Amino acid sequence: MSLRPATLVLGTQNLDKLREFVALLAAWPVQVQSLADFPPIVEPVEHGATLEANAALKASYYATTLRRWILADDTGLEVAALGGAPGVLTARYAGNDATPAQNRAKLLAELAAVPVGRRTARFVCHLALADPRGDIRATSCGHCYGQIARELSPTDAPTAAGRRFGYDGLFELAEYHCTLAELGPAATAVVGHRGRAVQAMRPVIEPLLTEIVATAGEPLRG
Protein backbone atom coordinates (compact mmCIF):
# COMPACT_ATOMS: atom_id res chain seq x y z
CA MET A 1 0.00 0.00 0.00
CA SER A 2 1.19 3.51 -0.69
CA LEU A 3 -0.03 6.88 0.47
CA ARG A 4 -1.27 9.64 -1.70
CA PRO A 5 1.04 12.63 -1.40
CA ALA A 6 0.56 14.56 1.81
CA THR A 7 -0.74 18.07 1.22
CA LEU A 8 0.82 21.16 2.75
CA VAL A 9 -0.52 24.68 2.36
CA LEU A 10 2.07 27.44 2.28
CA GLY A 11 0.97 30.18 4.64
CA THR A 12 2.09 33.20 2.64
CA GLN A 13 0.47 35.68 0.30
CA ASN A 14 3.84 36.95 -0.94
CA LEU A 15 4.13 35.71 -4.53
CA ASP A 16 7.93 35.93 -4.70
CA LYS A 17 8.29 33.96 -1.48
CA LEU A 18 5.68 31.46 -2.69
CA ARG A 19 7.60 30.77 -5.91
CA GLU A 20 10.80 30.18 -3.98
CA PHE A 21 9.18 27.80 -1.50
CA VAL A 22 7.43 25.84 -4.25
CA ALA A 23 10.79 25.31 -5.92
CA LEU A 24 12.48 24.36 -2.64
CA LEU A 25 9.75 21.82 -1.84
CA ALA A 26 9.69 20.29 -5.33
CA ALA A 27 11.69 17.23 -4.24
CA TRP A 28 9.57 16.59 -1.13
CA PRO A 29 6.95 13.82 -1.12
CA VAL A 30 4.22 16.41 -0.67
CA GLN A 31 1.63 18.19 -2.73
CA VAL A 32 1.94 21.94 -2.24
CA GLN A 33 -0.97 24.35 -2.20
CA SER A 34 -1.07 28.06 -1.51
CA LEU A 35 -3.53 30.43 0.11
CA ALA A 36 -4.60 31.38 -3.43
CA ASP A 37 -6.24 27.94 -3.68
CA PHE A 38 -8.80 28.99 -1.06
CA PRO A 39 -11.28 31.85 -0.61
CA PRO A 40 -9.61 35.15 0.36
CA ILE A 41 -8.27 35.19 3.91
CA VAL A 42 -7.51 38.26 6.00
CA GLU A 43 -3.83 38.26 6.96
CA PRO A 44 -3.05 37.96 10.68
CA VAL A 45 -1.46 40.81 12.61
CA GLU A 46 2.19 39.88 13.11
CA HIS A 47 2.56 41.06 16.70
CA GLY A 48 5.19 38.53 17.74
CA ALA A 49 8.32 39.85 19.41
CA THR A 50 10.52 37.49 17.38
CA LEU A 51 10.62 36.00 13.88
CA GLU A 52 10.08 32.56 15.41
CA ALA A 53 6.93 33.76 17.19
CA ASN A 54 5.53 35.31 14.02
CA ALA A 55 6.14 32.15 12.00
CA ALA A 56 4.22 30.13 14.59
CA LEU A 57 1.48 32.76 14.77
CA LYS A 58 0.92 32.65 11.00
CA ALA A 59 1.04 28.87 10.79
CA SER A 60 -1.48 28.46 13.62
CA TYR A 61 -3.79 31.17 12.30
CA TYR A 62 -4.01 29.82 8.77
CA ALA A 63 -4.26 26.22 10.02
CA THR A 64 -7.27 26.89 12.22
CA THR A 65 -8.88 29.09 9.58
CA LEU A 66 -8.56 26.53 6.78
CA ARG A 67 -8.45 23.34 8.90
CA ARG A 68 -5.36 22.29 6.96
CA TRP A 69 -1.70 21.59 7.63
CA ILE A 70 0.15 24.86 7.15
CA LEU A 71 3.84 25.57 6.61
CA ALA A 72 4.53 29.24 7.34
CA ASP A 73 7.63 31.34 7.71
CA ASP A 74 8.85 34.62 9.02
CA THR A 75 12.04 35.98 7.55
CA GLY A 76 14.15 38.91 8.62
CA LEU A 77 17.37 40.77 8.00
CA GLU A 78 19.60 41.38 11.00
CA VAL A 79 22.42 43.93 10.70
CA ALA A 80 25.09 43.82 13.40
CA ALA A 81 25.87 47.55 13.31
CA LEU A 82 22.18 48.31 13.89
CA GLY A 83 21.86 46.01 16.89
CA GLY A 84 20.05 43.34 14.88
CA ALA A 85 17.62 45.69 13.12
CA PRO A 86 15.49 45.64 11.07
CA GLY A 87 14.71 42.14 12.48
CA VAL A 88 10.99 41.57 12.95
CA LEU A 89 10.36 44.92 11.22
CA THR A 90 12.17 43.84 8.04
CA ALA A 91 9.12 44.08 5.77
CA ARG A 92 7.97 47.39 7.27
CA TYR A 93 11.22 49.01 8.30
CA ALA A 94 10.30 52.40 6.85
CA GLY A 95 6.67 52.16 7.99
CA ASN A 96 3.69 49.83 7.83
CA ASP A 97 2.92 50.73 4.22
CA ALA A 98 6.54 51.11 3.10
CA THR A 99 7.63 49.82 -0.29
CA PRO A 100 10.76 47.65 -0.70
CA ALA A 101 12.55 50.69 -2.17
CA GLN A 102 11.71 52.79 0.89
CA ASN A 103 12.92 50.05 3.22
CA ARG A 104 16.20 49.80 1.33
CA ALA A 105 16.64 53.56 1.35
CA LYS A 106 16.22 53.71 5.13
CA LEU A 107 18.69 50.86 5.63
CA LEU A 108 21.33 52.51 3.43
CA ALA A 109 20.82 55.86 5.14
CA GLU A 110 21.32 54.34 8.58
CA LEU A 111 24.49 52.60 7.41
CA ALA A 112 25.90 55.55 5.46
CA ALA A 113 28.70 56.22 7.96
CA VAL A 114 29.43 52.53 8.69
CA PRO A 115 32.62 51.26 6.99
CA VAL A 116 32.72 48.11 4.91
CA GLY A 117 34.25 45.95 7.61
CA ARG A 118 31.37 46.67 10.00
CA ARG A 119 28.43 46.13 7.64
CA THR A 120 28.01 42.43 8.45
CA ALA A 121 24.49 41.01 8.42
CA ARG A 122 22.51 37.83 8.20
CA PHE A 123 19.17 36.75 6.81
CA VAL A 124 17.17 34.50 9.14
CA CYS A 125 14.22 32.31 8.16
CA HIS A 126 12.06 30.56 10.75
CA LEU A 127 9.61 27.88 9.58
CA ALA A 128 6.66 26.53 11.56
CA LEU A 129 4.38 23.62 10.71
CA ALA A 130 0.89 23.64 12.24
CA ASP A 131 -1.71 20.87 12.17
CA PRO A 132 -5.41 21.59 11.45
CA ARG A 133 -6.03 22.28 15.15
CA GLY A 134 -3.42 25.03 15.04
CA ASP A 135 -0.87 23.18 17.16
CA ILE A 136 2.76 23.75 16.13
CA ARG A 137 4.20 20.34 15.31
CA ALA A 138 7.63 21.22 13.92
CA THR A 139 9.94 24.19 13.55
CA SER A 140 13.25 24.93 11.86
CA CYS A 141 15.58 27.84 11.20
CA GLY A 142 18.04 28.77 8.44
CA HIS A 143 20.67 31.51 8.24
CA CYS A 144 22.60 33.19 5.43
CA TYR A 145 25.58 35.40 6.30
CA GLY A 146 26.94 38.36 4.34
CA GLN A 147 27.28 42.12 4.43
CA ILE A 148 25.29 45.13 3.28
CA ALA A 149 26.56 46.80 0.11
CA ARG A 150 26.78 50.57 -0.27
CA GLU A 151 24.37 50.62 -3.18
CA LEU A 152 21.81 48.42 -4.85
CA SER A 153 22.95 45.66 -7.18
CA PRO A 154 22.25 46.63 -10.81
CA THR A 155 20.50 43.29 -11.28
CA ASP A 156 17.92 43.97 -8.56
CA ALA A 157 15.14 44.73 -11.01
CA PRO A 158 12.06 42.80 -12.10
CA THR A 159 12.95 39.84 -14.30
CA ALA A 160 10.85 38.23 -16.99
CA ALA A 161 9.22 36.20 -14.21
CA GLY A 162 8.48 39.37 -12.28
CA ARG A 163 10.65 38.42 -9.31
CA ARG A 164 11.99 41.14 -7.03
CA PHE A 165 13.24 40.76 -3.49
CA GLY A 166 13.36 43.45 -0.82
CA TYR A 167 16.96 43.50 0.39
CA ASP A 168 18.57 40.78 -1.72
CA GLY A 169 20.24 43.29 -4.04
CA LEU A 170 22.04 44.83 -1.06
CA PHE A 171 23.09 41.57 0.59
CA GLU A 172 26.57 40.57 -0.53
CA LEU A 173 27.93 37.04 -0.14
CA ALA A 174 31.72 37.33 0.00
CA GLU A 175 32.41 33.74 -1.04
CA TYR A 176 30.33 34.16 -4.21
CA HIS A 177 31.44 37.73 -5.03
CA CYS A 178 27.84 38.72 -5.73
CA THR A 179 24.61 39.69 -4.02
CA LEU A 180 21.85 37.28 -3.09
CA ALA A 181 19.77 38.79 -5.93
CA GLU A 182 22.47 37.80 -8.43
CA LEU A 183 22.81 34.25 -7.13
CA GLY A 184 21.11 31.54 -9.20
CA PRO A 185 18.23 29.49 -7.74
CA ALA A 186 20.31 26.30 -7.49
CA ALA A 187 22.91 28.01 -5.30
CA THR A 188 20.28 29.89 -3.33
CA ALA A 189 18.58 26.61 -2.45
CA VAL A 190 21.82 25.47 -0.81
CA VAL A 191 23.21 28.61 0.86
CA GLY A 192 20.12 30.81 1.17
CA HIS A 193 18.28 31.21 4.46
CA ARG A 194 15.01 29.76 3.19
CA GLY A 195 16.80 26.86 1.52
CA ARG A 196 18.61 26.04 4.74
CA ALA A 197 15.41 26.29 6.78
CA VAL A 198 13.69 23.89 4.39
CA GLN A 199 16.64 21.49 4.55
CA ALA A 200 16.43 21.54 8.36
CA MET A 201 12.65 21.00 8.33
CA ARG A 202 12.58 17.95 6.06
CA PRO A 203 13.85 15.28 8.51
CA VAL A 204 11.49 16.67 11.16
CA ILE A 205 8.45 16.65 8.92
CA GLU A 206 8.91 13.25 7.24
CA PRO A 207 7.76 11.22 10.29
CA LEU A 208 4.51 13.24 10.21
CA LEU A 209 3.59 12.51 6.58
CA THR A 210 1.27 9.60 7.37
CA GLU A 211 -0.56 11.70 9.96
CA ILE A 212 -0.76 14.64 7.55
CA VAL A 213 -2.49 12.41 5.00
CA ALA A 214 -4.84 10.88 7.56
CA THR A 215 -5.92 14.09 9.27
CA ALA A 216 -6.44 15.82 5.94
CA GLY A 217 -8.95 13.10 5.08
CA GLU A 218 -6.98 11.79 2.13
CA PRO A 219 -7.59 8.06 1.61
CA LEU A 220 -4.94 5.42 1.13
CA ARG A 221 -4.61 3.84 -2.24
CA GLY A 222 -2.77 0.82 -3.52
Residues that are catalytic: 74
| Sign of the dihedral through C-alpha 57, 60, 63, 67 | negative
Q: How many CA atoms lie within 13 A of 147 on its CB side?
A: 15
CA proximity to 125, closest of 78, 75, 165: 75
Amino acid identity for residue 209 in this structure: L
CA–CA gap between residue 28 and residue 7 (Å, rounded): 11
Distance CA 128, CA 136 (A): 7
For residue 130, how many other CB atoms are within 10 A of its CB?
27
The DSSP symbol for 83 reads T
Closest to 198 measured CA to CA, from 114, 128, 93: 128
